Each structure stands twice: as structure tokens, then as C-alpha cells.
Amino acid sequence: MQYRFVGVAGFILVCWPSQHKYLKLGVKSLPEWRSRTEGLMLKRLLLATFATAVAVGIGYADQPTTKVVIPVKNTAPTSGKQMYISYCAPCHGVDGRGNGPVATSLKREPSDLTVLSRKNHGKFPDTHIVAVLQFGTDVPSHGTAQMPVWGPILGKMNQSSPQQRILRISNLSRYLESMQER
């Protein structure tokens, strides 16, 4: 093969080892071959993007759309057990082990409330429990933090006595402490 300089594009056209390959494909020039290659790359990129979008869409659509609704009945603010059975047992179970009747519809198994002390080095985490009841938790049960924030709900039960919210949360926390494994 003879090498001669005819400008950059001409040099590539004349001396590039793969020039015979694209000439056999019926392409008359390097820019035309390059545009075909770029077109194929763009098609592949669009196909990969579309496949990814479909996969993400299928994954999102696979999430359950049912929402767990726990009816809130007005209970005695002095009975932690009655509040637990009414508000917490549907998810956490009557025994507190996370096996309530609606637990199977949750994405993540509810916490076992009988081992809170064991997980906290033998001391019941009362301030943490009060904070979770008042402000909620960051632990996702349904994909987002959907454990009800009981503080505002319990406070609305008797708006003439705002201290009842604190009394309810305190008694519920004490009841949870009584459920701890020994």
C-alpha cells in the first residue's frame, strides 16, 4: 500500500487498515460509515434505555396497592393493654411478635416488640418508644414509613384534655415494657 498525504481525511481514507472493510459494505466515505456506526450505537442505546424503563415499570407495578387501614376507636387512656390491642395488635399481633392479621400484607415484617429490651442491652428503650409513638419511625413497612404516627391521633381523641395524649402514650409504653421477654 502506498502512503501519500492528501490531508487528514484523505490520509485516513487511503491509509486506514480497515478502509477495505467499509468499502465492501457499499459505503463511499468514512463520514458516511461513521454516521451509520453512530446510528447503530444510538439505536442500541435507545433500546437499552427502553428495556431499563420497562424493567423499572414492572418492578414498580409489582408493589401492592392495598393500604392497611386500622380503625381508631376511642379507648380508655389509662389502659395500655386496651390501646395496644386496638391500635398495635393488627400489625404486631396480640403477643407482640409481629404476627398480626395484617402483617402478611406489609412489605416488611413488623417488629417483634417482645425483644426491645434484649436489643437495647437489657434496658427498655422507653424514650425511643415514646418518640416513635409521637413522631413515627424511619423503618419502612410498606416501602415508605407508614407505621401510623400515633401522637396526633391519640391527641385528637379528647381535645378538651391535651394531657390525655401524654397519658395514653405513657401507658402504651408501659404496656410494651410489660411484654418484654424475661
pLDDT exceeds 50 at position 11: no
Residue type, 176: L
Q: Considering the entire predicted model, what is its pTM? A: 0.57
pLDDT tens figures, 101-149: 888 887 778 889 999 999 999 999 999 888 888 877 765 553 445 566 6
Highest mean predicted confidence (pLDDT) among 43-47, 73-77, 160-164: 43-47
Distance CA 93, CA 169 (A): 19
pLDDT tens figures, 112-122: 999 999 999 99
DSSP assigned state of 143: S
